[in-house]
Structure 1
Amino acid sequence: MRLTHLMIAASVAALLSACTPAAEAPAPDAAPAAVTETEAAEAEKPLHVAVLDCGTIRISDLDIFSSAGDYAGVADTFTDSCFLVHHPKGLLLWDIGLPGMLVGNGENTQGVFTVSMEKSVTDQLAEYGIVPSEIDYVAVSHSHFDHIGQIDQVQGSTWLVNQKEKDAMFPPDGSAPVSADLAPTFAMFSPMEQQVIEDEHDVFGDGSVVIFQTPGHTPGHSSLQLMMPETGPVLLTGDLYHRAESRELKRVPRFNYDEPETLASMEAFEARAERLGAKVIIQHEPADIEPLGGMIR
C-alpha cells in the first residue's frame, strides 16, 4: 500500500520536526528526581496494553488484498491500530500508524485508499500521562507506510528490528529499498538507538512480551505474543492477515513480498495460536479491535 506523495510530504515534515533542538539535559551532578507514589504504583501494575487509534483506511476495491482474485470490487474499512505495552520494566510501542500530518486534515485519497486520523500518537500518549521520551522501545510489525508513519514522534526510543526487515529498509549493498518511495521515512529510523533482534525476541526477559518473525508480507514481517494476566495468551498479527476472512481463507495480498513464505508463516502462526490457546487480534479488523474497548489486560 503506497501513498507516495503523501508519504514524501509526511517525511519532509517529520524531518523538519526532528531537526528541532532537543531540550537541554540536566547537569551531570543533578540529583535524580524522586519517584512519586503514583509512579511507583504504576511501575508495579501488571502487564496491560493500551490500544491506540492510529488512523482509518477505507479501501474502495480490495482486489490487491487477495491473489486468488475473489476480492475484486469489494470495499472495506480497516482500523489502523497501535499498541502501547505497559510492562513493569518499561514501555513498548508496537506499530506507529499513519503519518501525523493527517491529523486535522480530513480524508486523503490516492488510488483505492482513503486515509484519515483524528489524534496523533503523542496526543494519545498524553491521555495516559506519558510523553514520547518515556517510551523505551519501538517495534514495527513491518515497514509499510501505515505502520511507520509517526516515527518522528518517538525518536528517543530504542528501535527493535530483525536483520531481514532492516536490510529491506536499508539494503547493505546500497541499492534502493523494496519500498523506494518510503526511503525518506526510513531515514528517520537511522538516528535512533537500534537493537537488532533474533527471529524470536523476549522484550522484557520474562516471556510476557515476545516479538516473533512471520515473514512474507515483507522480508522481516513480525507478530507479537503477549501473555496477559486476565485475557491469557494474545497474538497480534501485524499484517499477516488484514481481515477475518483473510485468516479463514488464507488469502495473501498481491503486493506481498513472498506468497509461499507468507503461507508458511500463516501455518506457523496458527500452530502457535493453537498450542497456546491464544486470542488472535487482527490489527486492521474492526471486529477484533472495537470489542477491546481500548485496553487488553
Structure 2
Amino acid sequence: MVKLGGFRHVAGLAFVVAASVALAACDIGEITDVTEAGWRAEADAPEGWSEVIANPTDIKVTAYVTGEVFAGGGVLIDPGVDGVPEGLGEDRWVPSLSYLVQHPSGKNVLLDSGVRAGECGYQILIVLDFPCRNKPGQDVVSQLSRDGIGTIDYLVATHFHGDHASGLGPVIERYDPVVLASSNEIEALKSPLRETQGYRYEQFAADMRVEAADNGFLEMPYIGKAADLFADGSVWLLATPGHTPGHMSVFLNASSGPILMTFDAAHLEATYRYNAPGGLGADLEVASDSISKLTALADAMPGVALVFGHEPTQWAGEAIRRDLTTIE
C-alpha cells in the first residue's frame, strides 16, 4: 500500500477485483427503501430560480469540521488546465465537513457526515490510501450532541466516499435519519466492487432507510436535475455527477442570502474558477460539465455565497464549528 502521493502496481487487476469482492462480502447492513421526503410535484415546480430566491426561508446552517484528509493535488484539481496557479497540484491536508441545516418546520437535515472518530482513512482501487486525522470529540455526532441537537430527520449523502461518509454509521445509530442519495450512488454502494471506488464497507454496518433523490428531481434552469426537499424552495439537491456517478451538490435558499455548496463537484475554489476537476476514477468530462452548470447557476444569482468541497482558505483557524453565513 502507498499514500496518494505515489502509486505501486500490484499483481494485476485480478488481484484488485478478487480482494474487492472478498471485502464486499462483509455485511453493510440492510438498505430499506422509504418514501418520506416532501418533494415538490412537477406541476408545482417554480418557473425559474428567480422565483425561488425571491422567497427565501429562515433556515439556520452550521458547518462542522470533522477532521482532515490528505489528498493528492491531482485529485483536488487538474494542475495542467490553463490558468491554474502553480503549486495547487501539490498533496495537502484539507478539511472534511458536515453541515447541519435547521428548517423552521423543526426538521433537521445533515449534509454529509464527515469522517468518523478515530481511524478514518480509506482507500480507492485498494492500493491508494487517503490518510485522515481528527481530534477526540471532533466527529459530527459528538459536536451535534454538544450543541443539543436531539433529532436528525434527513442525512443527505452527496456521495459515499470515506471523507464524506465514514461518519455515517454513528449518525444512523444515534438519530436514525432517512438517508437521501441519488439512485446511481445507492447502486454504487450496493455494488460488490464498491471497495474499488472508495466505499469502505465497515462505514455502512448500520441499517439504513434510504430515499432516492431522483424521486424528486425536477428540470430546473442552468443546473438540470434538482430536487426541492421541503417543497418550499429552501433546500435543493442538485445532480452534479462526474466525481462519482451519483454525486450531488446543494443549494440553500437562506434568508441571509443564497448559498451554493459544490461539495466534490469542485474540491477547491480554483477547481471551480478554472473548471479543472481532478480525481481517481472520476469521469472528468462529465465533472467539467457539472462545474459549468454550477457556474451558470451561480452567475444567475447575484450575491450567492459559494462553499467548496475542501477549500482550506474557507476554514482557516482552529474553529471546528461555524455559522455558514459567515463564510465569504
TM-score tier by shorter-chain length is 0.7 to 0.9
Q: State the Cα RMSD in Å.
A: 3.5
Percent identity at matched positions? 24
Deviations 1:269-294 (A, max 9, x none): 11111112221111311222449970
Given candidates 123, 128, 143, the residue that maps to 1:124 is 143
Given candidates 272, 295, 305, the residue that maps to 1:270 is 295
Compared CA separation, residues 213 and 71, structure 1 to 2 (3 A): farther
Compared CA separation, residues 84 and 284, structure 1 to 2 (3 A): same
Given candidates 231, 248, 252, the residue that maps to 1:205 is 231
Given candidates 89, 93, 96, the residue that maps to 1:80 is 96
Q: Using the alignment, how far apart are the partners of 1:220 and 1:95 within structure 2?
A: 14
2:244 match = 218
Given candidates 33, 37, 51, the residue that maps to 2:63 is 51
Deviations 1:25-48 (A, max 9, x none): xxxxxxxxxxxxxxxxxxxx9311
Q: TM-score scaled by structure 2?
A: 0.67
Residue 188 of structure 1: how far off its partner (Å): 3.3
The DSSP-based 3-state class of the residue aligned with 1:205 is coil
Aligned residues: 252
Residue 207 of structure 1: how far off its partner (Å): 0.5
Q: Using the alignment, how far apart are the partners of 2:255 and 2:88 within structure 1?
A: 41
1:184 match = 201
Return the letter of the residue paired with 2:69: I
Residue 248 of structure 1: how far off its partner (Å): 1.9
Q: Using the alignment, how far apart are the partners of 2:60 and 2:204 within structure 1?
A: 31
Provide runs of 4+ in structure 1 moved above 3 Å.
63-73, 107-114, 178-181, 185-189, 289-293
Residue 138 of structure 1: how far off its partner (Å): 0.3
8 Å CA contact 1:169–1:183 kept in 2: the answer is no
Q: Using the alignment, how far apart are the partners of 1:168 and 1:183 within structure 2?
A: 12
Larger RCO (CA within 8 A; separation ≥ 6): 2
Return the letter of the residue paired with 1:47: I
1:97-116 alignment to 2 at 5 Å?
97-102=114-119, 113-116=130-133
Given candidates 145, 157, 167, the residue that maps to 2:162 is 145
Residue 243 of structure 1: how far off its partner (Å): 1.5
Q: Using the alignment, how far apart are the partners of 2:122 and 2:246 within structure 1?
A: 29
Residue segments in structure 1 that go unaligned for 5+ positions in a row: 19-44
**Alignment pair present for 1:170 and 2:170:** no
8 Å CA contact 2:166–2:203 kept in 1: the answer is no
Compared CA separation, residues 108 and 234, structure 1 to 2 (3 A): closer
8 Å CA contact 1:65–1:71 kept in 2: the answer is no
Residue segments in structure 2 that go unaligned for 5+ positions in a row: 5-19, 30-56, 81-85, 218-225
Compared CA separation, residues 108 and 223, structure 1 to 2 (3 A): closer
Residue 111 of structure 1: how far off its partner (Å): 6.5
Point out the more displaced range, 83-92 or 286-295. Answer: 286-295
8 Å CA contact 2:169–2:203 kept in 1: the answer is no
Return the letter of the residue paired with 2:309: Q
8 Å CA contact 1:213–1:222 kept in 2: the answer is yes
Residue 196 of structure 1: how far off its partner (Å): 1.2
Residue 266 of structure 1: how far off its partner (Å): 0.7
Point out the more displaced range, 78-87 or 252-261. Answer: 252-261
8 Å CA contact 1:151–1:188 kept in 2: the answer is no
8 Å CA contact 2:78–2:89 kept in 1: the answer is no
Compared CA separation, residues 180 and 210, structure 1 to 2 (3 A): closer
Q: Using the alignment, how far apart are the partners of 1:101 and 1:196 within structure 2?
A: 30
1:41 match = none
Compared CA separation, residues 2 and 83, structure 1 to 2 (3 A): farther
1:42 match = none
Point out the more displaced range, 213-222 or 176-185. Answer: 176-185
**Alignment pair present for 1:248 and 2:273:** yes
Compared CA separation, residues 2 and 266, structure 1 to 2 (3 A): farther
Return the letter of the residue paired with 2:117: G
Deviations 1:161-197 (A, max 9, x none): 11111112124xxx423735635146436x2211112
Compared CA separation, residues 73 and 128, structure 1 to 2 (3 A): closer
Q: Using the alignment, how far apart are the partners of 1:284 and 1:139 within structure 2?
A: 17
